[in-house]
Amino acid sequence: MKLLINCFLIGCSTFTFQFPALAEPLTKQTNIFTQATPSITDPEEVLDIVSSMEKTWEDQYADHLDLSFSSSESTDNISPNVRTIQTSLVTPTAVEQNLKKGKQLTQSRAAFIWINAYPEYLRITISTENKTQVYDINVSRAEVMTEVEAFVKALRNPYLSPKSDYLPPAQKLYQWIIQPLASTLDEDKIDSLIFCLGKGLRILPLSALHDGEKFLVEDYAVSRLPAFSLTDMTAESLNNQNILAMGASEFEELISLPAVPIELNTIIGEDGKGESFLNQDFTLDNLRSQIETDPFGIVHLATHAKIESGKPKNSYIQFWNEQLNLDEVPRLSQQTGWSNLKLLVLSACETAVINQENNTIDEQVEMSFAGLALQAGVKAVIASSWDISDQGTLGLMAQFYQELPTAPTKTIALQRAQLALLNKNVRLEGENLSNVRSSTPLPETSVLNRPQDFSHPYYWSTFTVIGNPW
């Protein structure tokens, strides 16, 4: 039985499992923060809080990723993107102005939210285009981490949680993180939340937080980044970008991904805005060649990617005939100039976020995940924090690329795709994967493992935008 369960987790087509229907949401808890007011209002103190948080996290990522953010230093392990984004001390005013520019260019109203769990309290700092506020919530780091770990474990292992065990921690975390900000989010008509998270929180599946009636993704598009100072926050449209779609359905030592050929064909589409390469043509040399010769704005890699504990050299992206370790990605960026990419998509990424020795969040893994765009030297990455079924990935990715041309931002395009899965607009019908616009036949080996639908947050909350949210 253990073998069969493991096969299911990595996409094996020999084990059939149907998730139980979502349990009725728990009775909505009392909104203890409905009348919340900012804990700190002095502008100088707010400035100090924001700048010190940013500097602390900048140092943490520099140490973990073995990168330098000095524009004057040049090494093989620094991409051009990293050197140019570190310019000056981050101030609330700079963040507010960036949000205002983002709204002008995209018509999306975003809020920037820093969250850090201290031993005695949870600090939440929120910037909108009009103001920056600091809230200190009376809950200890130990309490927060208990709920975070329960939440992540329940979502990553839903076959062990038949009674929707993720809901209690999802609601507690919503109360602590989102409810104090409710009045600000409503007053400013916010539609997108950009999170910058501290240790232990960086891999939190935020879109699946729950208020007792609905998921956070039903109200807001959600993205995350390592730090404002480490992200190119220029708002830029992804409309009409050429796409390089590459992947593999067969591997010598890893489980097959039989839906990948359909995924690649669906992404490129009938209009052929881009190129696709499968299996033997999915090589690192071909990736270099394609990026060097064509102005691709999006690179989509439909393959196994694994983020392990320790330094980035322990993690990899699997190509047809070799693995690309994450610590080699900055050099690839220098060689090819792919730092000009607007978006890198890793559609079958998996993280070892739960440390097997102590059963807690692995802070090195979460830093590698949250720092993917920074490490890759690209503006943004869409990746999954745990691997899901082959069909679920195909359904979400197909929907994402359908939404991208009309969505104001890439984050809202992902939100729309997640909602399509949640609302069962993307589903299996017989041997076809269907949405409201089309029906796609699945390969026979993929049909053998057939969930009824993809509404469980296990399928859609694993995907997130990392880096530039626009």
**Beta pairing partners, 466:** 224, 381
d(CA 7, CA 15): 7
What one-character-per-residue DSSP string does 84-100 give? HH--S---HHHHHHHHH
The predicted model scores a pTM of: 0.89
d(CA 347, CA 305): 9
Q: Is 463 helix (H, G, I), strand (E, B) or coil?
A: strand
d(CA 279, CA 43): 56
- What is the pLDDT at residue 272? 65
The one-letter amino acid at 154: A
Helices (H), 348-409: 363-370, 372-376, 390-403
Helices (H) and strands (E) in the chain, counts: 16, 16
Token output for 104: 């002008």
- 73 pLDDT above the threshold of 70: no
- 85 pLDDT above the threshold of 70: no
Place of tokens 């087509």: 13
Sheet holding 432-434, edge to edge: 427-429, 432-434, 439-441
Per-residue pLDDT reduced to its tens digit, 281-323: 999 999 999 998 888 999 999 999 999 999 889 999 999 999 9
d(CA 322, CA 16): 31
- 29 pLDDT above the threshold of 50: no
Q: Is 116 helix (H, G, I), strand (E, B) or coil?
A: strand
CATH 3.40.50 fits 243-467, yes or no: yes
Among 63-67, 183-187, 188-192, 429-433, which is the least confidently predicted range? 429-433
Per-residue pLDDT reduced to its tens digit, 239-283: 889 999 999 999 988 888 998 999 999 999 756 679 999 999 999
Would you place residue 430 in the very low, low, confident or very high pLDDT band (cuts 50, 70, 90)? low
Q: What is the mean pLDDT of the chain?
A: 85
| Spatial CA neighbour of 279 closest among 301, 305, 303, 247 | 247
C-beta separation of 283 from 337 below 8 A: no
Q: Which residues contact 140 (CB under 8 A, 6 or more apart)?
A: 119, 120, 121
What one-character-per-residue DSSP string does 214-283 give? SBGGGT-EEEEES-GGGS-------TT--EEEEE-S--SSSPP-TTHHHHHHHHHTTTT-EEEEEGGG--
Helices (H), 294-378: 329-336, 363-370, 372-376
- 78 pLDDT above the threshold of 60: no
Give the count of alpha carbons within 13 A of 121, CB side only. 9
Structure-model confidence comparison of residues 91 and 73, the more confident one: 91
C-beta separation of 282 from 230 below 8 A: no
Would you place residue 379 in the very low, low, confident or very high pLDDT band (cuts 50, 70, 90)? very high
> Could you tell me what percentage of the chain is helix, strand and coil, using 3-state DSSP and rounding each to the nearest 5?
40, 20, 40
C-beta separation of 144 from 118 below 8 A: no
Per-residue pLDDT reduced to its tens digit, 176-221: 999 999 999 999 999 999 999 999 999 999 999 999 999 999 999 9
- What is the pLDDT at residue 357? 77
Contacts 24+ apart (CB under 8 A), 69-74: 69/230
Mean pLDDT score, 116-131: 97
| Spatial CA neighbour of 456 closest among 158, 10, 16 | 158
- Domain positions in the chain: 43-230, 243-467
d(CA 426, CA 418): 9
Query: Cα dihedral sign for 440, 445, 450, 456?
Result: negative
d(CA 111, CA 118): 22
The H-or-E segment that residue 82 falls in is: helix 80-85
Per-residue pLDDT reduced to its tens digit, 440-470: 666 665 444 566 689 999 999 999 999 999 9
Would you place residue 438 in the very low, low, confident or very high pLDDT band (cuts 50, 70, 90)? low
Token output for 230: 């480490």
Mean pLDDT score, 2-8: 33
C-beta separation of 228 from 85 below 8 A: no
d(CA 131, CA 135): 13
C-beta separation of 92 from 395 below 8 A: no
